[in-house]
Chains A and B, each alone.
Chain A
Amino acid sequence: MADLSLLGTAEAAARLSAAPQTARGFLGLDPVTQNAALLARELTRTGAQVLSADGVLLGYAPNSVQPRQGWVATTSADPAPLAALLDFLRTYRRCTSYVAEVPEGAPAVAALEACGFTGAGRLPGHVFHSGGYHDVLVYSATQEG
């Protein structure tokens, strides 16, 4: 199991800024158009936390109207760090369901599917980047209990 470490808001923003292309769409953020100060402000506004595991960035934001649901993100296609995050959220945040919104074609899709997430829908033209509008895929996973 990968070791997770929780990053402070400023460090989280700096780490996301350092990898602008891989972090596009991470918890709905975009380091290409948002500088570190703006990323930090958005993380604070949504109550999001960023964790790191073996160089992979993982994200968690609470669902303000459902305390047992978490919004998650990963910068990697490797399922191991994401599985560690889900285990952490189940154990310490008592989450029983998870939602992820990922840009189509993002590496995160492979990690989500390997961790048992299934497609919950498609948000057409939800994000603009590289000169055009692109769809965002919604994934969800639930645990019994």
Chain B
Amino acid sequence: MPFVTVRHFTEDDIPTRTALLRESRFQANLTDFAVVSADDALTANQRRTIEREHAVKRMFTLCGSGGGTVGFAWITSIDWPGQTCELSFGVLPECRGRYGAAAVAAAHAHIRAELNMRVVVNQVLEHNTMLVPAELLSEQRRVRCAYDSYTVGEWRTACYWTESEQDVARQREQAAQRRRAIADRIRTASASPLPS
């Protein structure tokens, strides 16, 4: 998986994120409010988040190995006493295939390890399999909410699920098991004589 780092969202990032908010798949998968908002309003909105809304919303810029921007993450519905929040993503179209999964993982890791969040609420519209594989989405469909959002002319159904520290530990253990299994297969294959 490519390496993705997380840093604070700054004023210089505003034009890139504004363009992303208006990208067609972003609109369909999250919200289309940016299309009906003026540039000035979107800029003022994002600047307000940077300068004043620390208690209720935080935005981050996700960077690839060269330091270039691959996308953004933001947390909302922050419950500081309860250590929970909702996490949202937007990955730039050209980076989705290469960086999508790594970007999601990096944002999750950052808000747990540095902001001390313990439970993360995920919301994904059901048709959106861009960052979460379809089978994981159906497995994760703990709450399915019809008529959740109206975006780009259609009502969309959303799936909601929470990820606790236990879930993260279990995922880490599953990943380690997969790595061990692959290593075992490689060892077995290299130990057996080559076919003549």
Check A-B contact in the complex, CB < 8 A: yes
Minimum CB–CB distance for B46 against chain A, Å: 12
Chain B residues, CB < 8 A from A32: 114
Which of A20, A33, A35, A131 is the one whose CB lies under 8 Å from B50? A35
B52 within 8 A of A: yes
A36 within 8 A of B: yes
Which residues of B in the span 102-119 have a Cβ within 8 Å of any Cβ on A? 112-116
Which residues of A in the span 42-73 have a Cβ within 8 Å of any Cβ on B? none
State how many residues of chain B have any CB contact under 8 Å with chain A. Answer: 13
Q: Judging by beta carbons under 8 Å apart, are A131 and B115 in contact? A: no
Q: In whole angstroms, what is the CA distance A66 to B113 when docked?
A: 36
Q: Judging by beta carbons under 8 Å apart, are B115 and A33 in contact? A: yes
Minimum CB–CB distance for A45 against chain B, Å: 13
Chain B residues, CB < 8 A from A20: 7
Chain A residues, CB < 8 A from B54: 34-35, 37-38
Q: Judging by beta carbons under 8 Å apart, are A35 and B114 in contact? A: no
Q: Judging by beta carbons under 8 Å apart, are B114 and A129 in contact? A: yes
Q: In whole angstroms, what is the CA distance A36 to B10 when docked?
A: 9
B8 within 8 A of A: yes
Q: In whole angstroms, what is the CA distance A17 to B113 when docked?
A: 19
Minimum CB–CB distance for B165 against chain A, Å: 10
Q: Judging by beta carbons under 8 Å apart, are A130 and B51 in contact? A: no
- Residue-wise, chain B 53-80 has the 8 Å CB interface mask toward A (1 for contact) of 0100000000000000000000000000
Which of A33, A36, A37, A38 is the one whose CB lies under 8 Å from B114? A33
Q: In whole angstroms, what is the CA distance A33 to B75 when docked?
A: 13
Q: Judging by beta carbons under 8 Å apart, are A130 and B114 in contact? A: yes
A92 within 8 A of B: no
Q: Judging by beta carbons under 8 Å apart, are A17 and B8 in contact? A: yes
Q: Which residues of B contact A (CB under 8 A)?
A: 7-10, 50-52, 54, 112-116
Can you offer 13 A-B residue contacts whose CB atoms are under 8 A? A32-B114, A33-B114, A34-B54, A35-B8, A35-B10, A35-B50, A35-B54, A36-B10, A37-B50, A37-B52, A38-B54, A130-B114, A131-B112
Known A20-B7, A32-B114; further 16 A-B contacts with Cβ < 8 A: A17-B8, A33-B115, A34-B54, A35-B8, A35-B54, A36-B8, A36-B10, A37-B50, A37-B51, A37-B54, A38-B54, A128-B116, A129-B114, A130-B113, A130-B114, A131-B112
